[in-house]
Structure 1
């Protein structure tokens, strides 16, 4: 019968065809950059259901089991298509006097596996493309086609305390890519591609058309210019020039409706939007991110939704044309969301165009941490120094390990802060291997740590004991070379491991005292210079020796 739909459910690969007339409602939601969801409501009454909650008693819809949902129209028996595949995440029963027992199921794409645990990991000398591919395959999911352009090779990329899904989404967004879900060949596929804004419309929908396949109903569209940007300029800190280096985003090819986005941005006084990152981000990465920001802003210009007769041949990221909706809304639009709604009244498909959330132009008090390029790291962190490397180390970094990195063999390269660091001048105090150090992060980006200082602990105690009056301060090196200050004794002392020392005293016994490991001493005091030697004294000069005094004694 034309217009009548058929739902086929499978659980763990096993079909259950007898439930068609018991299905009260089905809703499937697919959205760009979001994990697909579905909700299924089944009436548990009448044959073949022998008793209330018959389905809930069995294993067919057991939480955690995979459910596949196929759809077709009754008059198209050979055109059945998979529109959702996911697992039961919520199994709910209800009994109401007016309609009896019902089973409600919430389903999530198997990509939910990527969301369940926060992780910290380090990826070295690799691209976002390779990282995303690895994470998707580790999650047991299928990747459709090649990942879009994400070719910048990162010396180190850090996934800090976030789920694999959030990390994938952040890195895809930073490269101007969309995460899409498709159902092909009987299974779910993830596709990560750059949206094609230059494609020709594949479907034309018209309010005034009589063809049920293309006529649209319940239209809600809006043009909102508040998030439009003039252009995006990105800046990074160039450690060779010691200055900000700016790159401009390429102009976007996004075109929705008839309103000129550039003129709209000018009308609201939108200056070039600055995207600033003070870490060592590659210009190519910032250029891609700034282009993505501009694209997203353009996609918020025209947004909304409309309803059509149930169709399974439209896909996310597809360009369509809309007609009969007024001059501002006529023309091209891009599908960013699809909602299939099936109930006793029929099958309707709701189509979302544009982005409901773009890069905010309301200007939050603070810019996004890590410039929004990836999940950020907050506050100060503890690390352990694991090595010094001379080769290929232009920033004079040290290798450090963060306890939160799950792989103990993975290390980060961290720059070292110093009170004085100038051109071939400065203070050089590099912490030792095994030292506990305090780490901060440029722009809260976990890829760019800086050692702010080191800490003593029970394992690594200080060389000077704690005292109430805190009179002693100083430096003691790995080989017990010492530079000590004592405010109580008013002394300043340099000392080697073998007790070769120079002591400056400003108290009652003020003077300069030199002593070596051979018990030779030279004391400069108010009494004069006193030289004490256990052995010989040799004076050798190329010129004359003059000794002058009121009295000279030789013994």
Structure 2
């Protein structure tokens, strides 16, 4: 808590500085409001009386240049010219307001320089970085000074997807159990403070009004944060219990949680989140729950000592509300010479993304009426895509547009230039449609489905041991997981069978009764008719054992030269034998015996 002047018995004074220089004292302020709130950008609104209907009524303030858009502004408030700074920022908006009662007013709206972080959606990929490092970098880019509590996890990848820097900082801060405190062009990211209160508030002239409520709806005693451990293929759970250390009231969160009986409160993600990060996530939810137990507003006489993310002591409000109250917002209002400060107590229980719908971009980027989730499509045409993008024409029954078809891209297992998987659905197939960016103008076929009219080739069993790729003409590749057999077949019975159980390979020409069978015993070629070997080069036959040739008909051989050699013996025998040469015939041997 900073030092400041809260002397309610003195005259309220203030200074407004533009570009570091006080504005003219003759610039009459009708109303001045400054708002600072945890997890929000600090804001100020100044109403000046300026201008008029007469020719002599000049717009001195509007035309002074003091409040041009982007100009740096500082607001100091106090008593009897002892002022303290309660706001620093820049001018973001000028407006004019005219009515019969108050006449002409110039309205100047200002925000802390952190507002730069809220403008524009951005994409970024951070590798091997801690959340605290990422947050510091984003804050630094806005021109604000940063104080960020160091986090522990180094993320292999952290993606900022089409979201403002401020919103991204908020999401990562909450994931670590932190809050974001913005004040005077400074951003502090840390856990809610546990410091002792520096202000006491009683109905003795200090407190002007109280509006507070204790609420059991969001009180939790235990949070279980769950994620999927992809390495061990199991759900991991981090269980976090409420600390039971509340500082305000006589009702503990643990006791209040029994009112609705939410125990445990479940947080879940399908991501591969580290256990330490799950714990931080669960603790963050418990912090929100605890600080949301008592919420409301305490109005006190104007004080510059009040700051967000502090505690003040509330007394005289019954045991239910007395104690140390958490200050999540400070709102100063100066009007008609009076200054009051509204202390917002308690914290919103919801996640930032739940309370700020604009965190996510408009579905379909606001270019079309979005279509959410997956849709059913029925294939009508697979060729002649007018755009040449190899799309498929489908009807989307739920559109109820008299079956007017649309063209959809098709997702394949592997699509690349002049190669990949080429499988197109059949006409009238039921397919699953997704939509790029939820835009109904850009459908994509994600897959097709069986139904009672389009039944699968096989019925699933508990063992799930049969896999198959089968075309509508019954061309098939079948996988038998139990016997470890792959069969490639045609509807006419032509097959290639690779069998790991028998350690065999079989080629079957069932249409012509031909077969080639290979196993540990060798190779069997079984032909119903002729076997023809034809080579443009040589044919060589070699065996470690015998070579046998048998024919029930003639055995004929012919060549330019015929040479038969026996290592130990050469024998030729027949019922009749004839050796004949058109030229010289030579028979030689160590001994030649004829008859």
Task: Report the TM-score, using the length of structure 1 for normalisation.
Answer: 0.68
Contact in 2 for aligned 1:297/1:359 (Cα 8 Å):
no
State the alpha-carbon separation in 1 of the partners of residues 229 and 422 from structure 2: 43
Corresponding residue to 1:24 among 24, 30, 33: 30
The match for 2:72 is 66
Alignment match, 1:130? 133
* 1:346 is aligned to 2:338: yes
| Secondary structure in 2 matching 1:160 | strand
Q: CA deviation at 1:94?
A: 2.3
Question: Is 2:163–2:360's contact at 8 Å kept on the other side of the alignment?
Answer: no
* Residue of 222, 237, 240 corresponding to 1:231: 222
- C-alpha separation between the residues in 2 aligned to 1:535 and 1:172? 77
Q: What are the within-5 Å matches in structure 2 for residues 216-227 of structure 1? A: 216-227=207-218
User: How far apart are 1:545 and its partner, in Å?
Assistant: 4.1
Q: 1:194 aligns with which of 191, 200, 203?
A: 191
Q: Does 2:105 correspond to 1:102?
A: yes
What residue number does 1:281 align with? 273
Report the CA distance between 1:234 and its aligned residue.
1.4
Residue 251 of structure 1 and its aligned partner are, at CA, apart by 3.7
SS in 1 for 2:258: helix
Contact 2:76 2:84 in 1 (8 A): yes
* 1:71-150 aligned within 5 A: 71-74=77-80, 77=81, 79-143=82-146, 145=147, 147-150=148-151
Q: What is the Cα-based RMSD across aligned positions, in Å?
A: 3.6
SS at match of 2:62: helix
1:260 offset after TM fit, Å? 1.3
Name which one, 1 or 2, has greater alpha-carbon Rg: 2
The Cα offsets for residues 156-187 of structure 1, whole Å up to 9 and x where unpaired, read as 1110110000000111111111111233xxxx
Q: Secondary structure at the match of 2:65?
A: coil
CA positional deviation for 1:105: 1.3
Match of 1:8 among 15, 37, 41: 15
Q: Equivalent residue for 2:564?
A: none
SS in 1 for 2:145: coil
Distance (whole Å) between structure 2 residues aligned to residue 467 and residue 286 of structure 1: 44
Relative distance call for 1:103 and 1:241 in structure 2 (3 A) is same
* Residue aligning to 2:404: none
Alignment of 1:433-452 (within 5 A): none
Alignment gaps of 5+ in structure 2: 1-6, 365-410, 428-468, 478-486, 496-507, 516-523, 558-595
Report if the CA contact (8 A) 1:122-1:158 is conserved: yes
- Alignment of 1:182 with 2:183, yes or no, is yes
Task: For residue 321 of structure 1, report the CA deviation from its aligned partner.
Answer: 1.4
Q: Is the 8 A contact 1:8 1:17 kept in 2?
A: no
Find the partner of 1:39 among 40, 45, 62: 45
Q: Say whether the 8 Å CA contact 2:62–2:106 is kept in structure 1.
A: yes
What is the CA distance between 1:95 and its match in structure 2? 2.5
Query: Could you tell me the TM-score, scaled by structure 2's length?
Result: 0.64
Q: Any idea what SS the aligned residue of 1:17 has?
A: coil
C-alpha separation in 1, matches of 2:300 and 2:192? 23
Give me the whole-angstrom Cα distance separating, in 2, the residues matched to 1:313 and 1:82: 10
Deviation at 1:66, TM superposition (A): 1.9
**Alignment check: 8 A CA contact 2:242 2:253 kept:** no
| C-alpha distance in 2 between matches for 1:108 and 1:140 | 13
**Residue of 234, 237, 242 corresponding to 1:243:** 234
Deviates more, 1:260-269 or 1:530-539: 530-539
User: Are the aligned partners of 1:299 and 1:358 in contact in 2 as well (CA < 8 Å)?
Assistant: no
Contact 1:53/1:101 (8 A) holds in 2: no
How big is the shift at 1:98? 2.6
Tell me: higher relative CO, structure 1 or 2? Use CA pairs within 8 A at least 6 residues apart.
1
Say whether the 8 Å CA contact 1:88–1:106 is kept in structure 2: yes
Tell me if 1:323 matches 2:315.
yes
Change in 2 beyond 3 A, CA 1:331/1:529? farther
Contact 1:160 1:377 in 2 (8 A): no
The answer (yes or no) to whether the contact 2:12–2:337 under 8 Å persists in 1 is no
Q: SS of the residue aligned with 2:109?
A: strand
Is residue 93–residue 110 contact of structure 2 (8 Å, CA) maintained in 1? Answer: yes
Deviation (angstroms), 1:5: 1.6
The Cα of 1:142 is off from its aligned counterpart by: 1.2
Match of 1:51 among 52, 57, 62: 57
